[in-house]
Amino acid sequence: MGKMPLLTDEVIAQRLTALPGWTRDGDAIHRTFTFKGFPDAVAFVDSLVAPAEALNHHPDVDIRYNRVIVTLSTHDSGGLTDHDLTLAAQISR
């Protein structure tokens, strides 16, 4: 499978308008989710497995007790691709 094409800055900005809470930081987007406690945070991370596997695109996940920081970037393409914004939309649902 070849590298995914990078999205333009304009496309990224436009698509992020439909993804409240997600912000761009260089070649990645991220969002922090806050939960009642650690078990809910871990359950949320577990819910990311199916959509990530379906796209064969896996987020970077940082669990801090009741907070989960999800970061998306297509590392082998060197930036943001359609997979990142598509997975962000699925996670947001």
Q: Locate the domains of the chain by residue range.
A: 9-92
| Residues 20-74: tens digit of each pLDDT | 999 999 999 999 999 999 999 999 999 999 999 999 999 999 999 999 999 999 9
Residues linked to residue 71 through DSSP beta bridges, in sequence order: 30, 60
Please tell me the pTM assigned to this model. Answer: 0.94
Residues making up the chain, counted from first to last: 93
Residues linked to residue 33 through DSSP beta bridges, in sequence order: 68
- CATH (one of 3.40.50.261, 3.40.50.1440, 3.40.640.10, 3.30.1360.20) for 9-92: 3.30.1360.20
| Per-residue tokens: 16 | 């992020």
| Residues 64-93: tens digit of each pLDDT | 999 999 999 999 999 999 999 999 999 999
In the chain, the amino acid numbered 80 is L
